[in-house]
Chain A
Amino acid sequence: MSGPNEDNNTQLSSHIFGDLLDSIIVDVASECHRIAKLGLDRNLEEEEEEMRLSAQARARVADPSNSSETNTKYVVDIFGQTHPSVATEIFECMNCGRSIAAGRFAPHLEKCMGKGRKARLKVTRSSTAAQNRYSRGSPVSTYSPYSNSTSTNRLSNGTPSVAGEEYSNGTYEEPWNKT
């Protein structure tokens, strides 16, 4: 059973196993080296740096000198930027076409689309009987005035065409909502 061959085999096997293990060890070391050099690992140093910065920011926010009187106008966010309390970017209202400031957009839409008295008058004046059938019966329907006003003014894709008869790809088609 046991003989020189057996021992030889065992020794050889161990040697081969050792070789395999060494190769794998080199692979692992190489991989870790790569990660370290490329900074791919969220290194503890970086985490400490970030924790320090976030602690700083928190201190700034909690600082009493930053409160109430200067708060609404000059509050500073985590990047150190200040924003005006009313957003100032300007958009075009898709309903009436006016230029509206972003911060005033919601109240404008309310008036423009249906909540206000003037808007309601716009709805009843310009909607057809068919449109009314689709609306849910409430006088403040938001869909009908929208689709109506855009269909008579311009196509949704913005091509300047006459009465919406021809699309930009050249095919002649009757728009379904043409009155």
Chain B
Amino acid sequence: MKHSVNRPPTPDAAEDQGKEPTLQEIINVKLIESGEKERLMELLRERLIDCGWKDEMKALCRAHVKKKGRNNVTVDDLVHLITPKGRASVPDSVKAELLQRIRTFLMSAAL
């Protein structure tokens, strides 16, 4: 059974009015509206391709598919497969560059 069947019910309008948006959410909205999130994503994508990270992940996927058979693999499988290794194998320089840019954005968008 899909997880979506059991998801929590959508919060009513009444419940929502009492809540303040979190800092997280505010920042997220600012990121998206300014277009910075898109730019950051593209930058990260490019850096990960350049350093071979994407190829490593694709190789992992291909090996998994070969093992399980191509018709028995779901996107979920692959996501769960790649996530731990992916997060761990991002080069430090790439991570530093992105963090720097994000920090700069946060300071410029200081509330």
- On A, residues with C-beta under 8 Å from B are 8-10, 12-18, 20-33, 36-37, 39, 41, 43-45
Residues of A within 8 A of B73 (CB): 33, 36-37
Closest CB in chain A relative to B66 CB, distance in Å: 5
Contact B98 A17 (CB under 8 A): yes
Question: In the bound complex, how far is the Cα of B27 from the Cα of A15, in angstroms?
Answer: 11
Residues of A within 8 A of B102 (CB): 12-13, 16-17
Question: In the bound complex, how far is the Cα of B40 from the Cα of A156, in angstroms?
Answer: 64
| Tally of A-B Cβ pairs under 8 angstroms | 93
Contact B24 A33 (CB under 8 A): no
Question: In the bound complex, how far is the Cα of B106 from the Cα of A8, in angstroms?
Answer: 10
| Smallest Cβ-Cβ distance to A21: which chain B residue | B87
Residues of A within 8 A of B87 (CB): 18, 21, 25
Contact B99 A28 (CB under 8 A): no
Closest CB in chain A relative to B60 CB, distance in Å: 9
Question: In the bound complex, how far is the Cα of B107 from the Cα of A14, in angstroms?
Answer: 14
Binary contact track B8-50/A, C-beta < 8 Å → 1, others 0: 0000000000000001100110010000010011001100100
Interface range on chain B: under 10, 10 to 19, 20 to 34, or 35 or more?
Answer: 35 or more
| Smallest Cβ-Cβ distance to A44: which chain B residue | B66
- On B, residues with C-beta under 8 Å from A are 23-24, 27-28, 31, 37, 40-41, 44-45, 48, 54, 57-58, 61-62, 65-66, 70-71, 73-75, 78-79, 81-83, 86-87, 90, 95, 98-99, 102-103, 106-107
Contact B106 A28 (CB under 8 A): no
Contact A39 B70 (CB under 8 A): yes
Contact A37 B31 (CB under 8 A): no
Question: In the bound complex, how far is the Cα of B102 from the Cα of A26, in angstroms?
Answer: 21
Which of A8, A30, A31 has the most chain B CB atoms inside 10 A of its CB? Answer: A31
| Smallest Cβ-Cβ distance to B106: which chain A residue | A9
Which of A18, A28, A43 contacts B66 (CB under 8 A)?
A: A43
Question: In the bound complex, how far is the Cα of B99 from the Cα of A32, in angstroms?
Answer: 27
Residues of A within 8 A of B90 (CB): 21
Closest CB in chain B relative to A168 CB, distance in Å: 57
Question: In the bound complex, how far is the Cα of B79 from the Cα of A22, in angstroms?
Answer: 9
- Lowest 3 A-B CB distances belong to which pairs? A32-B61, A29-B78, A13-B102
Contact A17 B95 (CB under 8 A): yes
Write 16 A-B pairs (CB below 8 A) sorted by A numbering: A9-B103, A9-B106, A12-B27, A12-B106, A16-B40, A17-B95, A20-B37, A21-B86, A24-B44, A24-B48, A25-B83, A28-B57, A28-B82, A28-B86, A29-B79, A37-B73
